[in-house]
Amino acid sequence: MRVALIYVGQPESELRPVMSPPIGPQLLGTLLLHHGAEVELFDSRLQPADRLLAAVDDFDPHLVGFSYLSPNADEAVALARAVRRPGRAIVAGGVHASIHTEATLAIGVFDTVVRREGESAILDLYDRLVAGEPLPPIVEGTAWPDVDTLPPYADFDCYRGVYDQEGYRPVYLQLGRGCPMQCTFCELPNRQVFEPPRRRFRTVDTVMAEVHEYVRRWGVDFVTIADPIATLNLPLLMGVVRRMDAELPDVGLMFNGHVNRFSRALAEVLGEAQAGRDREGQRITVWFGFESGSQRLLDFMRKRTSVADGLAVARLCRDHDVQVGANLLLGVPTETEDDYRAHHAFMDEIEPTFPNPNILNPLPGTEMYDYCADRGLLRDPADHSIWRDSDIAARGEGPVLGIDYQRVLATYRHYRDEPAPESEPRYRSWAADDDTTTGCG
């Protein structure tokens, strides 16, 4: 049986629409391969739609799975409609489909929607197809029983060119799953998308074996740990950093830390690993979702962090020569001039290596979206597109009513346009280029 998995997403940059191939399709495709399926991956960012559709038809799959976020839902539906053939099952998964399950089914294009995590669900659907059984309209995905048994990605044609490209050759890696926090602007606390946050972790040996495999196979020279909070399991992270330092000192590393989950011991380990890493691409960066220098706004967004603790972890990193990426969220309902003064004071104090402003786009399925919807603050509740700074500048308005978008734009550009420390391209948080607000990016 043949399975095509199609990722529909936003280009990461104009020159390199895919810098790091996404985890989901690579992992699902690999599990299906191990399960006996013939699998091809496709990515909407790597070719025009007509070529993608022709390539899918050449492969002639029995099942086509789509993964996409809300901003790409219309594009995914159009592609799904175009690849429908008699006897071909069309399946949707991912965050948007998990939140808008019934609405996605009602479009009449998808046979099945998978909610939550997809690994076990896609294997179950495949088995049903092989057995000639009908597919259920909704599958409640269950968590993979042991994340340490998840295999390294297979070498799919779709992304080989991306891993072969000149310049950085980054790869996404996971240390574990789950986030215990409840930030109101983030989709991860939504139980329709993710199971309750039982923390599930891999082991240092498995993680390092996977990194070595990618370095050997693709010449990977940069690892992005995609966990929402990579510092949840400090012994695991410190073990990985120590092994990377000893075994792969030329491979750069970045990950998301959390203000409440950081330690002097980790800073020391990172500092030791940083020593001797002279090129930007080799260096280690910790990204923090500080989001604000205003305690009032942190509380409003239920960050459960304090400005003082944010200053302390940034200082700890600086003392140990660890690069800091600082996410700052602008355009938040209720924000005032005082809050912006607090943002600037905070950023001036922490002097991040990579300041990274983001503009709030309330995402369906988040508490922030409901807050805005309940108060009539959404400019267009049916519009799930991401408003970038250029959209806001062109239209003179933004996604949330009552926000001073001139102030937002001025602040956004102030931090975005600060020169990078070296002339090399910046490596940014895994979600940063979308200006979305999912996860700590």
Residues near ligand SF4, by CB under 6 A: 179, 181, 183, 186, 188-189, 228-229, 289, 439-440
Euclidean distance between CA atoms 79 and 312, whole angstroms: 48
Nearer to ligand SF4, 113 or 230 (CB): 230
104 phi/psi in degrees, rounded to 5: -65, -40
Euclidean distance between CA atoms 284 and 276, whole angstroms: 11
Nearer to ligand SF4, 194 or 214 (CB): 194
The least distance separating ligand SF4 from the CB of residue 135, rounded to whole angstroms, comes to: 31
Nearer to ligand SF4, 322 or 440 (CB): 440
Nearer to ligand SF4, 77 or 431 (CB): 431
Contacts of 153 (CB under 8 A, 6+ apart): 21, 26, 27, 29, 30, 214
Euclidean distance between CA atoms 199 and 192, whole angstroms: 17
Nearer to ligand SF4, 93 or 439 (CB): 439
The least distance separating ligand SF4 from the CB of residue 337, rounded to whole angstroms, comes to: 25
Nearer to ligand SF4, 251 or 324 (CB): 324
Neighbours of 108 (CB within 10 A): 9
The least distance separating ligand SF4 from the CB of residue 257, rounded to whole angstroms, comes to: 10
The least distance separating ligand SF4 from the CB of residue 361, rounded to whole angstroms, comes to: 14
Sheet of 170-173: strands edge to edge? Answer: 170-173, 222-225, 252-257, 284-291, 323-330, 354-359
Contacts of 286 (CB under 8 A, 6+ apart): 254, 255, 256, 257, 262, 270, 317, 322, 323, 324, 325
Euclidean distance between CA atoms 48 and 64, whole angstroms: 18
The least distance separating ligand SF4 from the CB of residue 207, rounded to whole angstroms, comes to: 20
Nearer to ligand SF4, 186 or 377 (CB): 186
Q: Which residue shows structure tokens 């930007």?
A: 280
The least distance separating ligand SF4 from the CB of residue 4, rounded to whole angstroms, comes to: 30
54 phi/psi in degrees, rounded to 5: -65, -40
Residue 252's beta-bridge partner residues?
A: 222
Nearer to ligand SF4, 229 or 297 (CB): 229
Euclidean distance between CA atoms 405 and 392, whole angstroms: 7
The least distance separating ligand SF4 from the CB of residue 305, rounded to whole angstroms, comes to: 9
Nearer to ligand SF4, 409 or 440 (CB): 440
Euclidean distance between CA atoms 366 and 189, whole angstroms: 8
The least distance separating ligand SF4 from the CB of residue 291, rounded to whole angstroms, comes to: 8
The least distance separating ligand SF4 from the CB of residue 263, rounded to whole angstroms, comes to: 17
Neighbours of 133 (CB within 10 A): 10
Euclidean distance between CA atoms 17 and 48, whole angstroms: 12
Nearer to ligand SF4, 72 or 366 (CB): 366
The least distance separating ligand SF4 from the CB of residue 226, rounded to whole angstroms, comes to: 11
Per-position DSSP letters for 116-181, written without gaps between them: S--HHHHHHHHHHHHTTPPPPSEEE----S-GGGPPPPP--HHHHHHHH-SS--EEEE-SEE----
